[in-house]
Amino acid sequence: MVEKIVYLIDNQTIKPMNNFMSSYEIILKVLNEICDKQNFIRQIRKPKLSDLELIALNLTAEYSSIDSESQLFRKLPEAITNKIERSVYNRRKRKLAFAMEKIRQKLSRFFNEYEDYYIVDSMPLEVVKLARSSRSKICKEKYETAPDMGYSASQKMYFYGYKLHAVASVNGIIQSFDLTKASTHDIRYLTDIKYQFSDCVIIGDKGYLNAEYQLDLFTSNNIKLEVPMRANQHNYKKQASIFRRTRKRIETIFSQLCDQFMIRRNYAKTFDGFRTRIISKITSFTIIQYINKFIYNRNINNVKINIA
């Protein structure tokens, strides 16, 4: 059973102070409470800026909609910039992607421990515009992780890049996510879901309608895949309105990730850099939800609100 933690920063009620460093201190305080160590990568020399402090800095930048490291380092005080150079910050951040994902998983367990209803969906992530795709070298260092062209039915457009597949609880907490090539069909992600979930209901759109996959999920892990039927199907039955309303939650999550966290804006040149950016944004999104609930006791999905 996951123990929920209620925080009191420095034994005082947190006063609203709208600035970057105050937000950083609160996020770092939360990370110190849920993590049992300061450094995740073994190094010969102990770094001046610990791995946990670097992760807190990165998550605060994502929450503050600072998508440029140059802009970030212009905002930071000398007390931090004297501890780490920008190029070193970038390299260490990519190496710490695994630690950020572990932190995100740990945070999500505080919310989703007893959840049995989830929503699955995907969204397109462009690497470059389609017109430039033939001459672009971004993220092409390996064939297995190289981007390709796909089609987004919801936006009725072709794009070049990747797909973000996500499973979220009905409360809006992302439980699991993955990146695939743009050409990968949404149904393929259900194979991964089979090994991550059990004894639950997963709500999807018509893109996940497949009798074979539905049967496989139910017989293997007792997962009921609830998707609307197509109007021309035999024995058509309209989906219950509660499922249609519930499914909008993940669309709201994607909108928030696109708006405040600018998940569709890409500055990365390698797949590792691109993947790290996505993990950073989703982890930052989750930690703000955590702070909303367990520090301020307010609506967890008000992620645009000040935390300091």
- Number of C-beta neighbours around residue 24 at 10 A: 21
| 215-244 confidence digits (pLDDT tens) | 999 999 999 999 988 877 777 778 788 888
Ordered by where they begin, the domains of the chain are 115-266 (3.30.420)
Is the CB of residue 152 less than 8 Å from the CB of residue 207? no
Angstrom CA distances, 57 to 28, 30, 85, 170, stand at: 8, 13, 13, 29
Residue 82, burial from CB neighbour count under 10 angstroms (0-12, 13-18, 19+) = exposed
Per-residue pLDDT band at 127 (split at 50, 70, 90): very high
Of 47, 274, 2, 34, nearest in space to 145 by CA: 274
Round to whole Å and give the CA distance between 29 and 16.
16
pLDDT of 9 > 80? The answer is no
The pTM of this model reads 0.91
pLDDT of 114 > 60? The answer is yes
Tokens of 52: 């946990």
- Greatest mean pLDDT among 1-5, 164-168, 202-206: 164-168
Is the CB of residue 163 less than 8 Å from the CB of residue 155? no
Average pLDDT, the chain: 89
| φ and ψ of 218, to 5 deg | -70, -45
Per-residue pLDDT band at 210 (split at 50, 70, 90): confident
| 249-301 confidence digits (pLDDT tens) | 999 999 999 999 999 999 899 999 999 999 999 999 999 999 999 999 999 99
**What's the pLDDT at 242?**
84
Round to whole Å and give the CA distance between 280 and 305.
19
**What's the pLDDT at 245?**
87
Residue 242, burial from CB neighbour count under 10 angstroms (0-12, 13-18, 19+) = exposed
| 188-207 confidence digits (pLDDT tens) | 999 888 889 999 999 999 88
Structure-token match 């007792």, residue found: 222
Per-residue pLDDT band at 136 (split at 50, 70, 90): very high
**What's the pLDDT at 19?**
84
- Element spanning 175, H or E: strand 174-181
Provide the 3-class DSSP secondary structure of residue 124: strand
**What's the pLDDT at 84?**
93
pLDDT of 16 > 70? The answer is no
